Chain A
Amino acid sequence: MSGNPGAILEVRDLATQFDTLDGVVRAVDGVSFDLERGETLGIVGESGCGKSVTALSILRLIPPETGRIAAGSIRFEGEELTTLSEEAMKRLRGHRISMIFQEPMTSLNPVLTVGTQIAENVVRHMGVSKKAARERAREMLDLVRIADSKRRLDEYPHQLSGGMRQRVMIAMALSCDPQVLIADEPTTALDVTIQAQILDLMLDLKEKTGTAIVLITHDLGVVAETSRRVVVMYAGRKVEEAPVEALFDNPLHPYTRGLMRAIPRLDVDAEEGGRRPRLQEIPGMVPLLTRPIVGCAFAARCSLATERCRAEPPPVVDAGGGHTVACWEVTP
């Protein structure tokens, strides 16, 4: 099963479903990718594409009352996570695999001090004394460049700014030296100057600790400036995967191409003779995920689509150099 010796995390044919009043939602529908040791992998897509559910599935945080991992395999250092006991998962989460979210306020406990929360995690997973854990917490605050760390240990989350709270989340996530950090839209709620600080911090710490990062975002700019490889998702499926340069220089899937032409550019002067150019629109809407999609999920919005695209799932085409695309019509 274990195909890629460099991979620390191997996701194969993952399918995650939720029960709703409208039927079963196929939020993730057969997604595969590898995360290599120490690398940053970006997962990008628009709302509802399944990128966050993929992250929650890896951590086995899908609420059992409404959802389930219906098929597929998730291997972490060769160990199958989909069938692991909840006790074993608890030992793993926050220790060897940890996670940071978009809104740190919802993941921090408002009635505990920052120091207590970080130390709690360290005591639980590393089995050290409270005193040593508190020292570790202070070290971590220094590491995420929170000034005056000793005083900050005794502060509550509401006393910190949004950027500082995200730093505390990162400190907590890295406090037990995880091999994998899953970051779900970690800078989306932050202002531009603070986003730059947090992204720089994450990449810097990755260099220092060797932690591999899965960075989930809707923002192509964030992906371009942080990731080594990128997975593009649409309607619960992976449509393209490539090294970051290849993806931005030569996007192959019609959806990826559409996305790149739809975004206004910060870095280029796009005006033609003083006129503002039109952005390319992607017509139509994302398909409903309550009905099984027979062919390609993008076919209904794709200008290249043929009968075959609507009838049969697209093959995965290898464009070489780690660049793959799920499409009938594109020839690399």
Chain B
Amino acid sequence: MTVLAVDRLVKHFPIHGGLLQRRVGAVKAVDGVNFAIAKGETLGLVGESGCGKSTVGKTILKLIEPTSGRIVLGGEDITALKPGAMWPHRRRIQTIFQDPYSSMNPRLSAGTIVGEPLENFDIARGRERDERVAALFERVGLRPDSMRKYAHEFSGGQRQRLGIAKALSVNPDVIVADEPVSALDVSVQAQVLNLLIDLQEELGLAYLFISHDLAVMRHISHRIAVMYLGRIVELTDKRTLFARPLHPYTEALLSAATAPDPRRQRRKRAIVQGDVPSPAKPPPGCHFHTRCPYAVADCKVKDPPLREVAPGHHVACHLR
């Protein structure tokens, strides 16, 4: 059952310049993205900085308005909803950030922070709210008596647990998790990843999991979408992605990533040269052609569409 789908999602940020601050161009942060996530599923969105993965997340959460395309949440099109009309839908889609601390009011107790959505959505107040918050604290592995503490009294891993408890408080269907473990040390990262998997299996949550870390992706995702300069270049189940990557960029990413195995010191890495071009001036044709070792003449002029080349395996490349 699909709980979230996006269809040809586009987000362009205008660039203004000159004396009259006219619009002189656009950063094409998200440039036509399609995917769907089922109940209980994790879709990983992976890519390097500036590929648009976080913008996809923010657009779906309607923190920024899409330029075009459709966002369908639980069967309802929420794309054009104004803030008031969006309100009842917000309960169904929640988010966890890389740094939960920055979104926590330092003058409120942890219990108040986690319980805020319960009041905002008129779900529970007073005693009932406190009981629910205590249960949430317990569920994410925090002591209920720490409800009276302030955010700064918690460690990084504990703050991420607070952020998860807050997101869970309103029983959402979908959680957008943007680099939720990137700032954590590995021993703590393991705790948070285990918690996220447990909660998903227990509650049937759907995750859009945004990260640059391929090892974390391989661990938590069911399917993975690889983004490059605003577009999905490959989308498939994770086993296929790691065993038979088809897009040259996916190949390059997998080859570049390091793994804790000294024998890999002697392997020949397929290293792509150069830097990612600016999303304000993406190359014509296939965005990856400037760094692609296999590029042919067609790649420089024709956009490769995302095609299904095997059941469930989508790739945007002229050569595959």
- Residue numbers of A with Cβ under 8 A of B are 46-47, 161, 163-164, 191-197, 199-200, 218-226, 244-245, 248, 258-260, 262-267, 269-271, 276, 278-282, 285
- Could you give 15 example pairs across A and B, Cβ below 8 Å? A163-B275, A192-B48, A192-B212, A218-B185, A225-B265, A248-B262, A263-B260, A264-B218, A265-B215, A266-B218, A266-B258, A267-B264, A269-B242, A278-B194, A279-B194
Q: Does B124 count as interface, using CB distance less than 8 angstroms? A: no
Among the listed A196, A223, A226, A266, which residue makes an inter-chain contact with B271, where contact means beta carbons less than 8 Å apart? A196
- Knowing A163-B275, A262-B190, say if A193 contacts B258 (CB, 8 Å): no
Given the known A-B contacts A161-B275, A195-B256, A265-B215, are A280 and B190 also in contact in the complex, defined by CB atoms under 8 Å? yes
Q: How large is the interface on B (under 10, 10 to 19, 20 to 34, 35 or more residues)?
A: 35 or more
Given contacts A263-B186, A278-B194, contact A193 B48 (CB under 8 A): yes
Is B135 interfacial (CB-CB < 8 Å)? no
User: Is B273 at the interface (CB under 8 A from chain A)?
Assistant: yes
Interface positions of B from 226 to 267, Cβ below 8 Å from A: 239, 242-243, 252-265
Q: Are the C-beta atoms of A265 and B186 separated by less than 8 Å? A: no
Inter-chain contacts of A221 with B (CB < 8 A): 215, 257-260
- CB–CB A279/B155 < 8 A: no
Contact between B271 and A200, CB atoms less than 8 A apart: yes
Binary per-residue interface labels of chain B (103-139) against chain A in the complex, 1 for a CB within 8 Å, 0 otherwise:
0000000000000000000000000000000000000
In order of increasing CB-CB distance, the 4 nearest A-B pairs are A221-B258, A264-B219, A196-B256, A282-B187
Tell me whether A258 and B187 are in contact (CB under 8 A). yes
A266 surroundings in chain B (CB, below 8 A): 214-215, 218, 254, 257-259
For B249, the closest partner residue in chain A by CB is A193
Q: How far is the CA of A181 from the CA of B272 in the complex (A)?
A: 26
Evaluate contact between B185 and A281: CB separation under 8 angstroms.
no
What is the CA–CA distance of A270 and B218 in the complex, to the nearest angstrom?
Answer: 9
The closest CB in chain B to the CB of A196 belongs to: B256
The reply to whether A279 and B190 contact each other, CB–CB distance below 8 Å, is yes
Which among A47, A270, A276 has the greatest number of chain B C-beta atoms within 10 A? Answer: A276
Chain B residues positioned under 8 Å from A197 (CB to CB): 271, 273
* Set of chain A residues within 8 Å of B218, measured between Cβ atoms: 264-266, 270
B193 contacts partner chain A, Cβ-Cβ < 8 Å: yes
User: Would you call B78 an interface residue if the criterion is a C-beta within 8 Å of the partner chain's C-beta atoms?
Assistant: no
**How distant is the Cα of A260 from the Cα of B193 in the complex, in angstroms?**
15
| Contact between B255 and A196, CB atoms less than 8 A apart | yes
By beta carbon, the residue of chain A nearest B47 is: A191
Enumerate chain B residues within 8 angstroms of A244, measured Cβ to Cβ: 262, 265
User: In the complex, A221 Cα to B269 Cα: how many Å?
Assistant: 14
Q: How far is the CB of B288 from chain A (nearest CB, A)?
A: 11
Known: A266-B214, A279-B194, A282-B187. A248 touches B256 (CB 8 A): no
Determine how close the nearest CB of chain A comes to the CB of B192; give it in whole angstroms: 9
B49, B215, B261, B276: residue with the most chain A Cβ atoms closer than 10 Å: B261
> Contact at B260–A260, with CB atoms within 8 Å?
yes
B55: min CB distance to chain A, Å:
17
Please state if B271 and A193 are interface contacts (CB–CB under 8 Å): yes
Are the C-beta atoms of B185 and A46 separated by less than 8 Å?
A: yes
Q: Which residues of A contact B68 (CB under 8 A)?
A: none
Q: Are B193 and A264 in contact (CB under 8 A)?
A: yes
CB distance A248 to B261 under 8 Å?
yes
Closest to A222 in B: B258
Pair A267/B259 contact, Cβ less than 8 Å:
yes
Q: Report the Cα distance A252→B214, complex, angstroms.
A: 27
Given A225-B259, A278-B194: A259 and B186 within 8 A (CB)?
yes
Contact A259 B256 (CB under 8 A): no
Is B220 interfacial (CB-CB < 8 Å)?
A: yes
- B59 interfacial by beta-carbon distance below 8 Å: no
**Bound complex: CA A204 to CA B215 (Å):** 26
B260 in contact with A248 (CB, 8 Å): yes
Closest B residue, CB atoms, query A265: B215
Q: What residues of chain A lie closer than 8 Å to B276, measured between beta carbons?
A: 191
How far, in whole Å, are A244 and B258 apart by their CA atoms in the complex? 15
Judged by a CB distance under 8 angstroms, whether B197 is at the interface is yes
- Residues from chain B with a CB closer than 8 A to the CB of A218 are 185-186
| Minimum C-beta distance from A160 to chain B (A) | 9
Residues of A within 8 A of B2 (CB): none
Q: Which residues of A contact B243 (CB under 8 A)?
A: 269
B98 at interface, CB cutoff 8 A: no
B191 at the interface (CB under 8 A from A): yes
B219 touches A279 (CB 8 A): yes
Could you give, for residues 287-314 of chain B, a 1 whenever the CB lies within 8 Å of some chain A CB and a 0 otherwise?
Answer: 0000000000000000000000000000
Min CB distance B261 to A, Å, is 6
Interface membership of B189, Cβ < 8 A: yes
Q: In the complex, what's the smallest C-beta–C-beta distance from B81 to chain A, in angstroms? A: 34
Q: Which residues of B contact A191 (CB under 8 A)?
A: 48-49, 212, 276
| Residues of A contacting B257 in the complex (Cβ-Cβ under 8 angstroms) | 192, 196, 221, 266
Nearest Cβ on chain A to B264's Cβ, whole angstroms: 5
Apart from the given pairs A192-B212, A224-B265, A259-B186, 10 other A-B contacts in the complex at a CB distance below 8 Å: A192-B214, A192-B257, A224-B258, A226-B265, A263-B215, A265-B215, A266-B254, A267-B259, A278-B194, A282-B190
Taking the nearest CB of chain A, how far is it from the CB of B42, in angstroms? 9
When chains A and B are docked, how far (Å) is the Cα of A192 from the Cα of B189?
19
**Interface membership of chain B positions 39-65, coded 1 if the CB is closer than 8 angstroms to chain A and 0 otherwise:** 000000000110000000000000000
B216: CB under 8 A from chain A?
yes
* Contact partners of B185 in chain A: CB under 8 A: 46-47, 218
| Contact A245 B262, CB 8 Å, known A262-B189, A264-B215 | yes
A233 CA to B243 CA, complexed, in Å? 35
Question: Quick one: closest B residue to A200, CB to CB?
Answer: B271
- What is the bound-complex CA distance between A213 and B263, given in angstroms? 20
Q: Is the CB of A193 within 8 A of B265?
A: no
Cβ contact within 8 Å between B187 and A262: yes
- What residues of B have a CB within 8 angstroms of the CB of A269 in the complex? 239, 242-243
User: Residue on B with the closest CB to A301?
Assistant: B187
Contact of B262 among A224, A262, A276 (CB under 8 A): A224
